[in-house]
Amino acid sequence: MSVNSTIAAGHSATLRRAALVGYLPLAIFVVLLVYLSFTAPNYFSFQSLDLILRQAIPTVVVCLGLSAVVMAGGNDVVSGGIDLSIPATAVLSAAIIADQVTNHGTPIALALAMALIAALLVGAANAVLVVRIGMTPLLATLSSSVAVVGIVKVITSSRRINVDHPAVVWLRDGSIAGVSVGVILTTLIFLIFFFAVHRTRWGMNLQAVGGSRDAAEISGIPTGRFLSQSFVVAAFAGGLASMFVLARGSGSTPGTEENLLLEMVLATFLGAAFSPRRVVTLWGAVLGAVLVTALSIGFKSIGVNVFWTGCIKGALILVVVASASLSLKASARGSAG
Amino acid sequence: MSLVSDSDTFSLRSFLVRYGFLVIIAAFFAFFSLYTGSFLSGTNLLNIIEGSSILLILALGMTLVVALGGIDLSVGIAFDMGAAFAIVAMKEYDAAWYVAILIGIGGGVLVGLLNAFLVVKLSVSPFLATLGTFFIGSSVQRIFTGGGGPISHRQAPMEYRNLAIGDVFGIPSEVIIAAVVLLIYFIFLERSIFGKRIHAIGLQKTAALVAGIKVNKYIALGFIIAAATCAIGGMIGSANLRMFTPLAGFSYLLDAIAAVFIGASIHPHGRPNVPGTLIGVLFLGMVANGLNLMGLDFNTKDALSGLILVGALAIAVAQKRLR
């Protein structure tokens, strides 16, 4: 065997190992789901699938928003694009709707409009902080989410507000041809996002900005404008998610944003680990959100102590992200030589 | 290059660039002094300093990690672990107070070791690694305490309680501990060759590596030292209440990050630095104290302090950018 082919064989072995490590996250999920399907009663039934999807809805919608920001800002968590304020925005919008509908008798359409405007304002504030003032997105959105949660406390006086408006109940319980209304609407929102990001000039430019800001700038794309727009889009997604947050909780509950934030970050970066290039994608985010919810519900139904859920989620995100970065490193080493 | 234009004419822009954030601090100081009668009294100013001690300790740990180019979302977990290990060691195993303190620091070191392992060995980004540590650490505390109930130890030795309630010549012991930590961090980070190397790693990791700095060793040690520092803060907190309160450290996370970034923004080169962090911590402590004295309702206070935080950070960063 010649020296060259030995080296080549070595490289392909490294690459194969890289690919194997890369499949680890998916493999872990498959193993867990198979395990759950044997232990949890009726885990793979239509009802539980429907339940999983319905539970996952708010996370899916905020994940779509976060994906847009990450696509425009780049994949690096600290210096690139991230928006930690989307869950807080969703909870703000939910609080506005709940307060208006229940306490002031405002028609729900008007309340929703007010909530969406508030969400857009948060998005605009984020855009100003990041693009105009030059704060890192992590810092800007972390601090704006604290301010937004503070405003939510003022609106709700840190109390739960029940909402029994027919529209919210319909969103929670209604179904068309056997499929939940929420699932249908979320699919619609996903398709709109997918079309906007992957099938329009705007989406192409947005992804170009995230891919390489310098290159996009040189090609004449106004990068600042696209970054700003991504934050506004994300906040709008948060505003839309508010209706599903209300439906899932039958009202606005203080503290909802914390769990939503954890699930959003987990699902979105989990999704990145599933994608071949390890980048955040819309499909990946949705898949991540559904899988995380599937596991949560599965563990609950086999009676795993609820306190363990955080531990399991934390370990999952670490295993997934570590195997993704290790496989990326290994494949870089394999193809570099 | 700006010697000629700026030296003889007063320019508002260059004034704001240089002193913008200090103007904000002075404005808040003046406002609270005028609006509330009790703000500008010796005891209250000492209150502010005492109330900022624990945050300062955590923010210093954060400064170290951010100076290395990372971020630590698990400072609160290290805080909790310090408190939990020390309290449990005294309550369940009758450990002497100084043994308990060492065990508490050990609890923090464990958190730092996990972070270091994830970041250096598994090359997970610091944000996601410490987020994972945060999930796991929170969950472990819930499991251990059966859902988050506090573990109280009323008979904690006086020496341990003195971490929080003691004083030396009238100066509260937590202020002294914070001052010692501050001094050590200042010498270590701003006046030693280690500090130079740490800043070099944070500025340009590859260049630091090429220059022969053992980057991974520094990053690993950085996470461990930061977590051990936070554990000290946790023990002071637990000494004050004579109990371990699960998940109490979380409330310091955002303030610690904010203080570090305020400090970085007023540094000539925008670097995280020890004196800047001190200014950031005192600013946040002053605002919290002032809003308390104004007697606002709890929810309004939360909203206002959130908005002030955003505004202060925005001004600090804008100031850095104008420069």
Shortest Cα distance, chain A CAs vs residue B307, angstroms:
5
In this predicted complex, what is the ipTM? 0.81
Residues of chain B neighbouring A312 (CB-CB closer than 8 A): 139
Shortest Cα distance, chain A CAs vs residue B2, angstroms:
23
Residues of chain A neighbouring B261 (CB-CB closer than 8 A): 139
Query: Is A147 close to B303, i.e. CB distance below 8 A?
Result: yes
Query: Is B128 close to A76, i.e. CB distance below 8 A?
Result: no
Domain A24-327 fold is ABC transporter involved in vitamin B12 uptake, BtuC (1.10.3470)
Query: Is A146 close to B254, i.e. CB distance below 8 A?
Result: yes
**How many contacts (CB atoms, under 8 Å) link A and B?**
133
Q: Which of A154, A158, A266, A316 has the highest number of chain B CBs within 10 A, making it the mutation to test binding with B? A: A154
pTM: 0.86
Query: Is B128 close to A318, i.e. CB distance below 8 A?
Result: yes
Q: Give the tokens for residue A278.
A: 């390890």
Using 70 as the pLDDT threshold, list the residues of chain B that sit under it.
1-10, 13-14, 16-18, 322-323
Domain-wise residue ranges, chain A = 24-327
Q: What per-residue confidence (pLDDT) applies to A335?
A: 62
Q: What per-residue confidence (pLDDT) applies to B10?
A: 66
* Residue A134 near chain B (CB below 8 Å): yes
Query: Is B313 close to A139, i.e. CB distance below 8 A?
Result: yes
* Residue B9 near chain A (CB below 8 Å): no
Q: What per-residue confidence (pLDDT) applies to A9?
A: 56
> Which residue in chain A is spatially nearest to B308 when comparing CA positions?
A147
Domain-wise residue ranges, chain B = 40-250
Q: Which of A318, A325, A329 sits opposite B132 (nearest CB)?
A: A318
Per-residue three-class SS string for chain B: CCHHHHHHCCCHHHHHHHHHHHHHHHHHHHHHHHHCCCCCCHHHHHHHHHHHHHHHHHHHHHHHHHHCCCCCCCHHHHHHHHHHHHHHHHHHHCCCHHHHHHHHHHHHHHHHHHHHHHHHHCCCCHHHHHHHHHHHHHHHHHHHCCCCCCEECCCCCHHHHHHHHCEECCEEHHHHHHHHHHHHHHHHHHCCHHHHHHHHHHHCHHHHHHCCCCHHHHHHHHHHHHHHHHHHHHHHHHHHHCEECCCCCHHHHHHHHHHHHHHHHCCCCCCCCHHHHHHHHHHHHHHHHHHHHCCCCHHHHHHHHHHHHHHHHHHHHHHHHHC
> Which residue in chain B is spatially nearest to A141 when comparing CA positions?
B310
Query: Is B303 close to A133, i.e. CB distance below 8 A?
Result: no
Q: How far apart are CA A333 and CA A142, in angstroms?
A: 36
Using the 8-state DSSP alphabet, how is residue A40 labeled? Answer: S
* Residue B305 near chain A (CB below 8 Å): yes
Q: What per-residue confidence (pLDDT) applies to A176?
A: 85
Residue ranges of A 13-42 with Cβ closer than 8 A to chain B: none
* Residue A311 near chain B (CB below 8 Å): yes
Query: Is A133 close to B304, i.e. CB distance below 8 A?
Result: no
Q: What per-residue confidence (pLDDT) applies to B60?
A: 97
pLDDT in tens, chain A (337 residues): 445 555 555 566 666 766 677 777 778 888 888 888 888 777 777 777 888 888 899 999 999 999 999 988 877 666 678 899 999 999 999 999 999 999 898 899 999 999 999 999 999 999 999 998 888 888 899 889 989 999 999 999 888 998 888 888 888 888 888 788 889 999 999 999 999 988 999 999 988 888 888 888 888 888 889 999 999 999 999 999 999 999 988 888 887 888 888 889 888 888 887 777 778 888 888 988 998 888 888 888 887 877 787 788 788 878 877 887 777 777 776 665 4
Q: What per-residue confidence (pLDDT) applies to B5?
A: 46
Q: Give the tokens for residue B71.
A: 């971020």
Q: Which of B139, B262, B298 has the highest number of chain A CBs within 10 A, making it the mutation to test binding with A? A: B139
Query: Is A314 close to B126, i.e. CB distance below 8 A?
Result: no
* Residue B282 near chain A (CB below 8 Å): no
Q: What per-residue confidence (pLDDT) applies to B3?
A: 46
Query: Is A269 close to B128, i.e. CB distance below 8 A?
Result: yes
